[in-house]
Structure 1
Amino acid sequence: MATPEHLLIEQFGTVRRITIHNPRKKNAINLQAYGDLADQLNSADIDDGVTVLVLTGSGDFYSSGNDISALLTDERPVEQRLESSHGTLARMVKAFYSFSKLLIGVINGPAIGIAGTTAVLCDVLYMEETAYFYTPFTALGLCAEGCSSYTFPKLMGTSKASEMLLLNHRMSAQEALQFNVVAELFKRQEFESKLWPRILQYGELPVGSVKATKQLMKKFDLDQLEQANKRELEALAKRWQTEEAMLAVMNFMTRKSKM
């Protein structure tokens, strides 16, 4: 497997760490990174040398989400762009929710859009105390993705999920802890000194036992995830072809360029 351009892969005993690394764009994820992330998740799931997979970001961001600028500069016909991007997105999201071993997200900074929704599919989330989740789908004229139309209400309740997905609410780390989205908060300097040694110990757990217990717990129903992923991608394809979405995205990019 070729070395991914925007992912750093490290192995510590039976613990594998994937770090999203695109600092120039605050760890934004482009189409290639979608595919690479899916490949890495699927590869780790069948690798007997991996017991725990950890996802995190480099620097001050976990990920700023979808690299919208890359989509806007793609010169292919819109139907062709949508077919390739949504097929790859579907594969990446599925790689998260079908992962059979222990999947841990270390949210070291803001987790925006698809980065935040897929992070919720992890088994355990640890979060830096000044980080936040932000899913501005309606501000972009788009719609929920990453199975969030199913997972957010199940985790947070309908009202808070609606505030996130409909009203573009920015959920602080403290709120994420309050609403059972994350397990524990850490100061940035505590990740290496306190959290990482603990995660390395998790790598010593019997992988068969972890997989069996994870299957029994069923954080989310697999059929529901499959249906949500399919519905969201169908709706997203339609949204991308509307003038409303194009204007909202262009306005967002214009505001972003002035920041």
Structure 2
Amino acid sequence: MADYADITYAVAERIATVTLNRPEARNGYTIRMADELGDAMDRADRDEEVRVVVLTGAGRDFSVGADLSQGGFDFDPESGPDAAWQEPAGRCSKRIFTMHKPVIAALRGAAVGGGITITLSCDYRLAAEDARFGFVFTRRGIYPEGASAWFLPRLVGMGTALDWMISGRLVDAAEALSAGLVHRLYPADTVLEEAYALAREIIATTAPVSVAVTRQLLYRMASAPSPFPVHELDSRLIGGLGKSSDAVEGVVSFLQKRPPEFTMRVDRDLPDYLPWLHDSI
């Protein structure tokens, strides 16, 4: 998709900015937006000039969740979905889950329903001090989506996830920070610039291949039944460092007290034995 209708996409300073762009509808989430977000994340992940993605929303809100006024779900309500259909919030959250690049969500105003579940697989959620969050599904007679029942307990613990999802109540920024849903709070007019500052720090100081492997190690191996398979994989990774130019550069630049210049690329230098490279998603 070269042109988007419900989002915008721009790259500068090796940062891809993906913006939900329906401010007149408070960035209500649509089927088209889901498809466009998937395409934009694919685009950023394939582009070796992009090191970090910043996900944000135009206007005063990040997103108030599903906008069913735009036609509802993309299946016939009489016959239901076919076997291949996937709900639209999960289309985005799963694609972010599989990214090789870090994704930073910059949240202000309301982030409710699908407007928060699509961000749960982001690496960082930075929020405005007046932001509000809600997993409001039970108050609408519907069900949690975006694979949020998997992501949310891993972020805030099962007890808090049960409270927020069963009650469907709104959560203010201070509670979200205390529970671990968001990483840091900022004044509303600075949260996006703080996301860019974090992105620039990651770009300047970290190796892209190391970041890609580390991000997926945490997600894919955290639910292993014991530490043994994790140690088997990281032993193989550490054992291969003798052939890693980035590992040499990381040590030398540290000793020389200068910024590193990492040259390995995600599109050609990921270890081919990483188990998730062969997964179907």
Tell me: CA distance 1:20–1:151, structure 2 relative to 1, closer, same or farther (3 Å): same
Aligned to 1:177, the other structure's residue is in SS state helix
Taking structure 1 as the reference length, the TM-score comes to 0.77
CA distance in 1, matches of 2:223, 2:165: 21
1:143 and 2:131 correspond: no
Taking structure 2 as the reference length, the TM-score comes to 0.71
Do the aligned residues in 1 keep the contact of 2:87 with 2:145 (CA within 8 Å)?
A: no
CA distance in 2, matches of 1:45, 1:76: 29
CA distance in 2, matches of 1:199, 1:151: 23
Gaps of 5+ in 2: 225-281
Do the aligned residues in 1 keep the contact of 2:111 with 2:133 (CA within 8 Å)?
A: yes
Which residue matches 2:218?
A: 217
CA distance in 2, matches of 1:185, 1:87: 30
Tell me: CA distance 1:81–1:5, structure 2 relative to 1, closer, same or farther (3 Å): farther
Supply the AA of the counterpart residue of 2:12: F
Q: What is the number of equivalent residue pairs in this alignment?
A: 222
Which residue matches 2:77?
A: 78
Per-residue CA deviations over 1:131-159 (Å, capped at 9, x if unaligned) read 01112111111111111112222222222
CA distance in 1, matches of 2:171, 2:79: 35
Supply the AA of the counterpart residue of 1:32: R
Gaps of 5+ in 1: 224-259
CA distance in 2, matches of 1:75, 1:127: 31
Map residues 79-158 of structure 1 onto 2, 5 A cutoff: 79=78, 82-83=81-82, 86=86, 88-158=88-158
Q: Whose Rg is larger?
A: 2
CA distance in 2, matches of 1:197, 1:75: 38
CA distance in 2, matches of 1:70, 1:130: 28
Map residues 1-259 of structure 1 onto 2, 5 A cutoff: 1-72=1-72, 77-79=76-78, 82-83=81-82, 86=86, 88-191=88-191, 194-204=194-204, 205-218=206-219
Tell me: CA distance 1:85–1:65, structure 2 relative to 1, closer, same or farther (3 Å): farther
Aligned to 1:144, the other structure's residue is in SS state coil
CA distance in 1, matches of 2:166, 2:62: 22
Do the aligned residues in 2 keep the contact of 1:113 with 1:135 (CA within 8 Å)?
A: yes
Higher relative CO (Cα under 8 Å, sequence separation at least 6) belongs to 1
Structure with more helix by fraction: 1
Per-residue CA deviations over 1:25-60 (Å, capped at 9, x if unaligned) read 100111111101011112211211111011011111
Aligned to 2:8, the other structure's residue is in SS state strand
